[in-house]
């Protein structure tokens, strides 16, 4: 049941990317939290399933959490409005997690090479994410 939902969400993700006319970037959601990535976790304290992205994401809709070395809880769940904590694994950029899609609404900033639990009002309300220089 749970994994079926994940598969369907994955199909939606591909469809959205194709509809947008953009080639899926290899670094987005490759499952590894590489140097330079933003890594969103399903559970607090950077635990559970994870979703990684390297570039700005105007809408987390369509992406799903993947099993990670930090746990499998939430595997296949949609990333949008489901993240509880974040690891900014970029050495120089600040990560901004927005309440609204398309970089709107209030924002929580996570510094370079830092982790944070999302603010209670933002937890399960993460809609988009972008990078900014200092």
Dig out the tokens for 33 from the structure: 């939290």
Select from 5, 7, 18, 55 the one that contacts other proteins (CB under 8 A): 55
95-134 residues in contact with other proteins (CB under 8 A) are 99-109, 111-117, 119-122, 127, 130-134
Q: Binding of other proteins at residue 61 (CB under 8 A)?
A: yes
CB of 66 vs other proteins, minimal distance in Å: 12
**Residue 70 contacts residue 115 (beta carbons within 8 Å):** no
- Site residues (CB under 8 A) for other proteins? 16, 19-23, 25, 28, 32-36, 39, 45-46, 54-59, 61, 69-70, 87, 89-94, 99-109, 111-117, 119-122, 127, 130-134
């Amino acid at each position: 049941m749970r994994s079926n939902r994940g598969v369907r969400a994955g199909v939606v993700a591909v469809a959205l990317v194709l509809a947008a006319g953009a080639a899926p970037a290899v670094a987005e959601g490759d499952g590894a939290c590489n140097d330079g990535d933003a890594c969103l976790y399903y559970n607090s304290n950077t635990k559970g399933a994870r979703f990684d992205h390297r570039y700005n994401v105007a809408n987390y809709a369509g992406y799903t959490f993947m099993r990670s070395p930090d746990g499998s809880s939430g595997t296949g769940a949609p990333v949008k409005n489901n993240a509880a904590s974040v690891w900014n694994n970029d050495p120089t950029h600040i990560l901004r997690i927005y309440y609204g899609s398309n970089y709107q609404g209030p924002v929580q900033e996570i510094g370079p090479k830092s982790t944070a639990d999302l603010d209670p009002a933002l937890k399960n309300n993460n809609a988009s994410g972008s990078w900014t220089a200092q």
